[in-house]
C-alpha cells in the first residue's frame, strides 16, 4: 500500500465553525471514507472477531445494539461546543451528524474490558464462574474474543530535555499503535486550529478523524500524547479522551494547568497522558481512570520520561487489568528498552530528532540483545500507524509518512507558523500563499524486509479475520526473517488454526532454537507440546512439558504457563485439536 500524500489544513473560528471547515476542506480533498467506515464498524469487528459464521450474524446484531447505546450515552455527556464541532464535521463531510458518537469508540472499548474485569467474565472469569447465567456467559465469550484478539496496549512515548538532548531543548516522540493498519496510516493529515477563544493548537491525525487526541501541541509549548490503559474503574459517562485532550490543548499553558484541567470533571475511561512543556523543560504523565487522577513525574534528576500502557502510580495500580501475563510484559519490555536507549543516547552526547525516531523503530528486547523481532513487546509495532517527533520550541515536527509500521520509511519535516491564512493542500500540489507551513523531505529510516508482510498479516487478521491470508503473509515474513522467534510463535498458532499440526511443531522447533526470553520460551514449549500431541507425537510433547516445568517459575508469567502445562498432561490428543484465538501484536493466544 502506498499512502496518500500528507494533507495539511488550517481552520479558524468557533469550535463548530472549525469542525465545519475541516469537513468541507476534507470533502473537497477526498480520502476520508475508509476511516469513517472503520470507526463505525470497529466495535463489532473487535468483539465478533473470527466467530463461526453461524454465530457471527447473531453476535453482530447484539454487539451493535449494545455498543450503539453506550456510544450514544458517552456522546450525550460531551461539552456542547465540542459536540457541535464533531457534528458539524460529520455533516460537512456528508455523513449523519449522529456519527459524531464514534469518536468515543476507544473509550468504549477500554470500558468494556474494564467492565469485564469488574464483573469477572470473559478472560477474567474464575473457574467457579463457569456456570454463570446464559446472557452473561455469552457476553463473556464476546469479551474473551475481544481481549484475546484485539487488545492493543501498545503506544510508546519518550520525552527528553536538558542533557538528554543535544541542544537541551525538549523533544517529544511517540508511536501511535492502533487496530487500523491500512486505514489510519493510508491518509496522514495535520490540522492547525485557530479558535476564537483560547490558544492556537495543532494535531496530527488521518483524513476523516477530527480528533485532537493522538499527538497534540499548542502555542504555549505543551505537547500531549494519549495512551491506552486498562482498569476496573470506568464509567459510561464523563469526559471522553478526545474532549479532555482538546481542553488541555486550547487552555493549558503549563503542566500544572494540564493537571488542573484533567481534574475538573470525571473522565469516562482509563488513560495515560504524556504531557511535556518546552517552557518548563519538564514532563509528566497524567494517569487517569473514572475514579482518580494521579501524576507521575521523572525520577530523581532524570531529564527524560517514558510513557507506555501501564499505571505507575501505586494508587492507580490497584484495580489495573491484565487478562494474561502477556499484557504487562508487552508494555514493561517497551519501557525498559526505551529507558535503555535513552541512557545510551545521553551518554553519547544527547538526542536529536533522528535518534528519537530511531528509538521508535527499535526491534530488540532489553534482555535479548542482537535478536530482531517483529512481534511482541518491542517498540516498533506492526500496527504503528503514526510515528512523530515534536520540537515545540522550534515549531517543528518530523513525521513518518509511509505505510505501517510508519517509522520505517520516509519522514517529512514540517515547520509551522501560528499565524497564516485558512485553507488546505496536500503535498505535491501548489502551496497556498500565506499558509505559513513548510514541508521538506527529512530522509528515510531503513525498512526491514519482513515489515510489509507482517503489517499485511496484522491488517488481514484485524479487518477480515482470514487465517489463510494471515498465515500466507507471515510465511513471507519468515522467509525474510527466519531467525525471528516471534514470527515462529505467531505462525505456530496460525498453523494450529489451520489444523496443520506437524507444521506447527516445526515452527516451535525453529522458535526454541533462538528464543531466550523466559515467558516467550515457555509459550513455545506449551503450544509446541500441544501441537505435538495433536500431531500424534506424545513423546516430544512430554519432553517439551518437562522442559517447561524446569524453567524458573519466578520469571515473569512462567508459573502461569507451567500451570497450563501440568493440566495438559491429563488431556487426550483430541483436546489439542481445537483452534486457538490469537492476538498477533500482543503475541498471546488461548482457547476461546
1, part of any domain: no
Query: Which of 445, 467, 482 is the C-terminal boundary of a domain?
Result: 445
- Give me the pLDDT at residue 503, please: 98
Q: Do 284 and 413 have their domain in common?
A: yes
Tell me, what CATH number does 184's domain have? 3.60.60.10
Asked if 302 and 316 sit in the same domain, the reply is: yes
Q: Which of 438, 473, 470, 467 lies closest to 453, judged by CA? A: 473
Rounded Cα gap, residues 60 and 38, in angstroms: 15
Tell me, what's the pLDDT at 131? Answer: 31
**60 within domain boundaries:** yes
Residues of the chain with pLDDT under 50: 128-138
Structural domain includes residue 412: yes
**CATH code: domain of residue 559:** 1.25.40.10
Do residues 342 and 304 touch, judged by C-beta distance below 8 A?
yes
Domain range enclosing 548: 451-590
- Answer yes or no: do 543 and 421 share one domain: no
Kindly state whether residues 241 and 305 are assigned to the same domain. Answer: yes
2 in any annotated domain: no
pLDDT at 128: 40
Domain match, 431 and 459 both: no
| Same domain for 321 and 192 | yes
Contact criterion met (CB below 8 Å) for 527 and 589: yes
> Do residues 301 and 414 share a domain?
yes
Q: Which of 445, 471, 487 is the last residue of a domain?
A: 445
Residues 209, 95: one domain? no
CA atoms within 13 A on the CB side of 218: 28
Same domain? For 49 and 162 the reply is no
Last residue within a domain, chosen from 399, 415, 445: 445
Identify whether residues 140 and 179 lie together within a single domain: no
Same structural domain, 440 and 567: no
Q: 476 and 502 share a domain?
A: yes
So what's the pLDDT on residue 149? 55
Domain count, the chain: 3
Cell readout for 313 is 502510580
What pLDDT is recorded for position 133?
A: 32
pLDDT score recorded for residue 44: 73
The reply to whether the predicted model has a pTM over 0.85 is: yes
Instruction: Name 368's bridge partners.
Output: 365
Amino acid at each position: 500500500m502506498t499512502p496518500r500524500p500528507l494533507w495539511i489544513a488550517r481552520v479558524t473560528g468557533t469550535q463548530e465553525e472549525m469542525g465545519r471547515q475541516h469537513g468541507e476542506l476534507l470533502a473537497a480533498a477526498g480520502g476520508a471514507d475508509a476511516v469513517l467506515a472503520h470507526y463505525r464498524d470497529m466495535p463489532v469487528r473487535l468483539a465478533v472477531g473470527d466467530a463461526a459464521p453461524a454465530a457471527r450474524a447473531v453476535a453482530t446484531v447484539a454487539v451493535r445494539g449494545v455498543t450503539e447505546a453506550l456510544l450514544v450515552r458517552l456522546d450525550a455527556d460531551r461539552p456542547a461546543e465540542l459536540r457541535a464541532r464533531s457534528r458539524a464535521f460529520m455533516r460537512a463531510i456528508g455523513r449523519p451528524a449522529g456519527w459524531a458518537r464514534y469518536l468515543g469508540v476507544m473509550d468504549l472499548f477500554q470500558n468494556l474490558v474494564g467492565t469485564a474485569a469488574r464483573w469477572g467474565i470473559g478472560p477474567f472469569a474464575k473457574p467457579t464462574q463457569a456456570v454463570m447465567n446464559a446472557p452473561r456467559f455469552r457476553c463473556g465469550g464476546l469479551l474473551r474474543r475481544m481481549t484475546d484478539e484485539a487488545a492493543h496496549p501498545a503506544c510508546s512515548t519518550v520525552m527528553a530535555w536538558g542533557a538528554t538532548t543535544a541542544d537541551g531543548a525538549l523533544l517529544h516522540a511517540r508511536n501511535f499503535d492502533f487496530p487500523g493498519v491500512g486505514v489510519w496510516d493510508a491518509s496522514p493529515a495535520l490540522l492547525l486550529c485557530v479558535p476564537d477563544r483560547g490558544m492556537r493548537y495543532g494535531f496530527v491525525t488521518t483524513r476523516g478523524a477530527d480528533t485532537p487526541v493522538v499527538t497534540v501541541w499548542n502555542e504555549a509549548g505543551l505537547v500531549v500524547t494519549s495512551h491506552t490503559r486498562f482498569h476496573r474503574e470506568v464509567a459510561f459517562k464523563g469526559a471522553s479522551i478526545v474532549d479532555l485532550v482538546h481542553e488541555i490543548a486550547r487552555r493549558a499553558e503549563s503542566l500544572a494547568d494540564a493537571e488542573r484541567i484533567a481534574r475538573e470533571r470525571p473522565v469516562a475511561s482509563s488513560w495515560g497522558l504524556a504531557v511535556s512543556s518546552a517552557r518548563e523543560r519538564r514532563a509528566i504523565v497524567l494517569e487517569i481512570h473514572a475514579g482518580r487522577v494521579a501524576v507521575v513525574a521523572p525520577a530523581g534528576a532524570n531529564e527524560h520520561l517514558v510513557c507506555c500502557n501501564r499505571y505507575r502510580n501505586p494508587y492507580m495500580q490497584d484495580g489495573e487489568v491484565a487478562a494474561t501475563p502477556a499484557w504487562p510484559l508487552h508494555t514493561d519490555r517497551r519501557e525498559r528498552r526505551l529507558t535503555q536507549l535513552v541512557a545510551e543516547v545521553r551518554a553519547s552526547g544527547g538526542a536529536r530528532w533522528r535518534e528519537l525516531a530511531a528509538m521508535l523503530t527499535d526491534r530488540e528486547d532489553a534482555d535479548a540483545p542482537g535478536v530482531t523481532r517483529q512481534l511482541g513487546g518491542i517498540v516498533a509495532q506492526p500496527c504503528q500507524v503514526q510515528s512523530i517527533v515534536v520540537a515545540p520550541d522550534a515549531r517543528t515536527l518530523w513525521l513518518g509518512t509511509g505505510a505501517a509500521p510508519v517509522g520505517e520509511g520516509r519522514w517529512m519535516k514540517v515547520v509551522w507558523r501560528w499565524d497564516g491564512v485558512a485553507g488546505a493542500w496536500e503535498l505535491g500540489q501548489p502551496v497556498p500563499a500565506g499558509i505559513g507551513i513548510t514541508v521538506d523531505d527529512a530522509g528515510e529510516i531503513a525498512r526491514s524486509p519482513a515489515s510489509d508482510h507482517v503489517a499485511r498479516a496484522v491488517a488481514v487478521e484485524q479487518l477480515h479475520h482470514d487465517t489463510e491470508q494471515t498465515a500466507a503473509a507471515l510465511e513471507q515474513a519468515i522467509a525474510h526473517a527466519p531467525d525471528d522467534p516471534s514470527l515462529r510463535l505467531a505462525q505456530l498458532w496460525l498453523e494450529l488454526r489451520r489444523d496443520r499440526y506437524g507444521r506447527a511443531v516445526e515452527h516451535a522447533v525453529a522458535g526454541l532454537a533462538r528464543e531466550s526470553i523466559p515467558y516467550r520460551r515457555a509459550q513455545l514449549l506449551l503450544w509446541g507440546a500441544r501441537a505435538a500431541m495433536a500431531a500424534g507425537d506424545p513423546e516430544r510433547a512430554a519432553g517439551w512439558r518437562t522442559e517447561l516445568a524446569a524453567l524458573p517459575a519466578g520469571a515473569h508469567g512462567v508459573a502461569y504457563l507451567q500451570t497450563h502445562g501440568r493440566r495438559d498432561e491429563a488431556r487426550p490428543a483430541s483436546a489439542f485439536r481445537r483452534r486457538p484465538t490469537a492476538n498477533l501484536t500482543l503475541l498471546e493466544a488461548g482457547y476461546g
